Amino acid sequence: MRIVILSRNPRLYSTRRLVEAAEKRGHEIIVVDHLKCNIEIEKRSPKIFYKGEYLDNIDAIIPRIGASVTFYGTAVIRQFEMMKVFTSVTSQALTRSRDKLSSLQILARAGVGLPKTVFTNYTKDVEHVVKSVGGAPLVLKLLEGTQGLGVVLAETKNAATSVLEAFNGLGARVIAQEFIKEAGGADIRAFVVDGKVIGAMKRQGKEGEFRSNLHRGGNATIIELTDEEEKTALKATKALGLGVAGVDMLQSSKGPLVLEVNSSPGLEGIETATGKNIAKEIIRYLEIHAE
């Protein structure tokens, strides 16, 4: 096959590993910076121009689109779709999963367990918001936050009011969420490919930190998921229409609760923690589905 990885940086761990895995399985693979692609739109003749030539005869793409360039990245994926190229994540699924709020709405409808969540921009009645998510302490999150930045634990109703007022005053969109104390500063990441969990890890936040993000100093170890955790991860992935996904869940007294579903999940943490060849599984997924 001729495979394109949409990635801004060929030196990133995930990009390098995918290139390695594809070449090992005898494929030709090109790393393409999506921001340097021109999208040519013309009657029945969709084309992509990149570094002096047209990208032709591509069988499959693996988008690795950073959160800050979702709009442009999605447009490039859509153009490949118009060219009938198989993609490991569709433009529609990427758009949907990038919006934390809309993905939570879709997951809730699909019957996936979630921490109770409220979205509001009205700060005059914080009391009811706090009550709706089970009282203080509660979690407040910036909708466009990432890597644990913009996730705050408000210990009291007053603290929650101040933070909500401050965020809203800055024009930032924010959600309030039930705090799942029994998760103990840990979460689990299930890596799903083609309707199967192919690896899972537990991430534990550093001492005194409720956020488990590796970027915030957490550490990761391999775990075996329960049947319920596995089912939840697969249901969430399916609801969002993703072929490859990283599903983040909290272990709670009510069972697994999904925090978010990542459509460009990184490979370094999961391959290191589990010792598994996740990159190879992604390439195999393309082999099965690309024509």
Ligand X SMILES: Nc1ncnc2c1ncn2[C@@H]1O[C@H](COP(=O)(O)OP(=O)(O)OP(=O)(O)O)[C@@H](O)[C@H]1O
Which residues here bind ligand X, judged by CB under 6 A? 115, 139, 141, 145-148, 151, 177-180, 183, 187, 210-213, 248, 250, 259-260
Angle, in degrees to the nearest 10, between helices 278-289 and 13-24: 60
Q: Is 264 in the site for Mg ion (CB under 5 A)?
A: no
Distance CA 226, CA 116 (A): 22
- Nearer CB in complex with ligand X: 31/189: 189
Min dist. Cβ of residue 141 to ligand X (A): 6
Span interacting with Mg ion, options 111-119, 178-186, 193-201, 258-266, rule CB under 5 A: 258-266
| Cβ(257)–Cβ(249) below 8 Å | yes
- Nearer CB in complex with ligand X: 113/243: 113
- Nearer CB in complex with ligand X: 31/100: 100
Min dist. Cβ of residue 129 to ligand X (A): 14
Is-cis flag, bond preceding 137, omega within 30? yes
- The tokens for 63 are 């988008």
| Cβ(152)–Cβ(210) below 8 Å | no
Angle, in degrees to the nearest 10, between helices 100-109 and 91-98: 100
- Nearer CB in complex with Mg ion: 58/211: 211
Min dist. Cβ of residue 246 to Mg ion (A): 8
Min dist. Cβ of residue 96 to Mg ion (A): 13
Q: What angle is formed at CA 112 by the lines to CA 108 and CA 117, rounded to 5 degrees?
A: 45
179 binds, among Mg ion, ligand X, none (CB under 5 to 8 A by kind): ligand X
Q: Mark 117-140 as b/e (b = at least 16 C-beta within 10 Å).
A: bbebeeeeebeebbeebeebbbbb
- Nearer CB in complex with ligand X: 178/229: 178
- Nearer CB in complex with ligand X: 46/150: 150
- Nearer CB in complex with Mg ion: 229/260: 260
Distance CA 177, CA 179 (A): 6
Q: Is 262 in the site for Mg ion (CB under 5 A)?
A: yes
Q: Is 7 in the site for Mg ion (CB under 5 A)?
A: no
- Nearer CB in complex with Mg ion: 55/220: 220
212 binds, among Mg ion, ligand X, none (CB under 5 to 8 A by kind): ligand X
Min dist. Cβ of residue 119 to Mg ion (A): 17
| CA separation, residue 104 to residues 142, 269, 276 (Å) | 14, 24, 29
Q: What are phi and psi of 274, to 5 degrees?
A: -100, -15
The residue number with the shortest CB distance to Mg ion is: 262
- The tokens for 83 are 């060219």
Taking the CB of residue 155, how many other CB atoms lie within 10 A of it? 12
115 binds, among Mg ion, ligand X, none (CB under 5 to 8 A by kind): ligand X
Q: Is 237 in the site for Mg ion (CB under 5 A)?
A: no
Q: 35: which DSSP letter?
A: G
Span interacting with Mg ion, options 86-94, 168-176, 228-236, 262-270, rule CB under 5 A: 262-270
| CA separation, residue 178 to residues 15, 50, 249 (Å) | 36, 46, 14
| Cβ(252)–Cβ(226) below 8 Å | no
Min dist. Cβ of residue 192 to Mg ion (A): 14
Please report, as ranges, the residues that interact with Mg ion according to CB under 5 A.
260, 262
